[in-house]
């Protein structure tokens, strides 16, 4: 960590706070995890994420699209096929999330 | 990222989810930011974090102590002096939080 980074860190964690508020939404990490193994259709996501309602899945995907973490491709077939993938930005999150998985595994108390 | 890491990432983001739920609490990142520049007393924290109630500050500090991210030292003076610091675990979070600050700065849309 260089001095400029340290200074930025001390000034404001706001972008981190915003990232946490997006990523901390129920199901959001699970959606990113599902898409990290490749493109998925809406129905496939719903099937993998047992218990998620179509309304919630749709809202979470829209939020992730808005932040350009996820991209949606619509194929004009009958019936139309809609596929979701991680963008490059989304892919760049994986490293940080893995660091957080590691940190959490090593440092958080499981009984709580 | 090696294969074992990738596999772990695909299996479960649960520890990351838990970390997000702790770090995502209102004021929590700000408390960590304040303590990242060094030990602080309760009153100093309250003064820096404009708008936090003593009750909330106390609850957040207790949660961070429980997770061994923050440590409390009590000095038996009159009046007693109580100081809070980041533990080694807390310090190890700084790198991840900085990565998240960077990622958020580069990737999140500020107008939202």
Rounded to a whole number, what is the distance in Å from the CA of B78 to chain A's nearest CA?
32
> What's the longest Cα–Cα distance across chain A?
57
Total residues found in chain B within this entry: 112
pLDDT, tens digit (0-9, with 9 covering 90-100), for A61-75: 999 999 999 999 999
Touching B: A residues 9-68, CB under 8 Å: 9-10, 12-24, 29-30, 32-33, 36-37, 66-68
Does residue A97 belong to the interface with chain B, where contact is any CB pair within 8 Å?
yes
pLDDT-based confidence at residue A47 (cuts at 50, 70, 90): very high
Between CA B27 and CA B30 the distance in angstroms is 5
Question: Would you place residue A106 in the very low, low, confident or very high pLDDT band (cuts 50, 70, 90)?
Answer: confident
A5 falls in which pLDDT band (50, 70, 90)?
low
In B, which residues are within 8 Å of A89 by CB distance? Answer: 107
Question: What percentage of residues in chain B have a pLDDT greater than 70?
Answer: 86
DSSP H helical ranges for B14-87: 14-23, 28-36, 42-48, 54-66
What ipTM was predicted for this assembly? 0.75
Q: Which residue ranges of chain B lie beneath pLDDT 70?
A: 1-12, 109-112
Write down all domains in chain B, each with its CATH number in brackets.
27-105 (1.10.10.10)
Taking a C-beta distance cutoff of 8 angstroms, is the pair B107, A70 a contact? no
Buried-state track A21-56, b at ≥16 Cβ within 10 A, e below 16:
ebbbbebbbbbbbbbbeeebebeebbeebeebeeeb
Would you state the structure tokens that stand for residue B61, as one six-digit string?
A: 């500090």
């Amino acid at each position: 960590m260089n001095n400029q980074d340290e200074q930025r860190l001390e000034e404001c964690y706001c972008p981190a706070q915003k990232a946490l508020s997006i990523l901390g939404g129920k199901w959001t990490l699970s959606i990113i995890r599902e898409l990290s193994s490749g493109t998925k259709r809406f129905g496939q996501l719903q099937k993998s994420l047992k218990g998620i309602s179509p309304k919630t899945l749709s809202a979470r995907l829209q939020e992730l699209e808005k932040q350009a973490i996820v991209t949606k491709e619509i194929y004009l077939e009958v019936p139309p096929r809609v596929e979701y993938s991680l963008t490059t930005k989304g892919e760049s999150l994986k490293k940080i999330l893995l660091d957080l998985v590691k940190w959490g595994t090593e440092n958080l108390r499981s009984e709580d």
